[in-house]
Each structure stands twice: as C-alpha cells, then as structure tokens.
Amino acid sequence: MAIKDDAILLAATNEAREAAQGIAEGGTVGEHLGAVMDNERLATHYFACTAAAYPGWRWAITVARVPRGKKATVCETNLVPGEGALLSPEWLPYDQRLAPGDLGAGDVLPYIEDDQRLEPGYEATGDEDVDEAAQWELGLGRKRVLSAEGREEAAERWYRGDAGPTSPVAEKATAPCSSCGFFLPMPGALRSFFGVCANAWSPSDGRVVSLDHGCGAHSEVDLVREDPKPAEEPVLDEFAIDLV
C-alpha cells in the first residue's frame, strides 16, 4: 500500500536543515536533496554533506507529526552514505586479516577455542612404547595438536610458497632436495612431502622444504669445470713505436 504524501512533513525543509546544522561541522550542510515518506506521518529530508572527508555522504533528518498535528518535529538525525559514497572496508575477524610478518615481538593472538586446524592431544597411557611414539606422532603432553585440516592447510601453503618446487631458486636447481645429504626428513604425517634444510650455505637453511624443492647448494651437485688453456708464450712486438 502506497504511503500518502504528508504536506506538512515534506514542507519542513527549514526545520530539518536547522537540525542538520546543529549536529554538523560548520559549513558542511549543503543543498537539499529531497524528502521521502518513510511511513504515515514520518518522512526523511536529505542534505548534501560537503565535508571533504565524507564524499558522497548525506545528512538524513527524520521528521514526524502526531495525528491531526500541524507541526513537524525532528525525531532523528544521521549521516548516511549515498550512491558512490566512500566507505570503510568490510570488517573481517583478526584471523582473516593477519598476514605473514604481522605478528611482532611481544604480540599475543587471542585464543581460538574451536580452531578447526587443531584437535585434542593425547594423555599418557602408561605403556612406555606407546607413549614414546605418541609423544612425537600424536603430541603427547600438549592440549591440542594439528588436525587433518590443519596439516593439509600448512602443506598446501608451504608447497605453493618459497619452500615448494615453483619458487625461482627451485626452478633453476639441477637436483631436488630429496637427494641432498643436508635434507632432514620431517617426522610424522608430512614426512612423505617435506623436510628441513640443514645446509648453512643454502637460502633455505633451517626452513621447511618440499622433497622436490632445490637450490644451488645441493650436496651432490658440482659446477661443470673446463680444463684451463695453457698460457701462450709471450710475443715481442719489434714494430711498436713509442711517440716522443
């Protein structure tokens, strides 16, 4: 059902402008952009916002009147975005905003109770052999350990990054890390795909690398050396003339 125009409310431009000027910084209430009926005996007047920091925004002043009333009353004042207004980015939780390198010394992240990347750890069983295996494979003594989803996420991130086979240094390598003597296989579920480099000369020293990663510091690869040519006997140029 269409809302009928209210002549008293739609004509209350001056009252609406005064209300806008009462909340706005001086000189930032621009031209009247019109008024719309929101409901019966309820309308909103819009004015351009001329503040440099709010391009495209509008002052919205809502006015109302009581039944059979002859005077409009201001009931709400707002600054609202218009078409093409400059808006702040959509809010994202911290765990979606963080990027590698954002966490500095002394920074602490909030605890995530239901982190899908983790699952409960395992308590001691009393069996020495079982507990010793669990200490490394299942995270004995830790409240939570990586879940299958957490391992998959980490593996994909490592493999697609500088530790994988598509990094510039790996693409130019002549042999993979899996055949290098400095390659330390990673224990646990990721052993089939990753290890740690232990070569001080390698750019990946102390970092996780994939089996098919590589660099120029491979333990079994050497430069192709050519035998040096014997030096030629010196020749005396008897025709050289020194100009004096």
pTM value is: 0.50
140 falls in which pLDDT band (50, 70, 90)?
A: low
Q: If you average pLDDT over residues 188-207, what whole number do you get?
A: 91
pLDDT score for 165: 95
pLDDT at 144: 78
Binned at pLDDT 50, 70 and 90, residue 2 comes out as confident
Which carries the bigger pLDDT value, residue 202 or residue 124?
A: 202
The answer to whether 2 and 40 have CB atoms below 8 angstroms apart is no
Q: So what's the pLDDT on residue 114? A: 84
Task: Please indicate whether residue 193 or residue 189 has the higher confidence score (pLDDT).
Answer: 193
Q: Does the pLDDT value for residue 74 go beyond 80?
A: yes
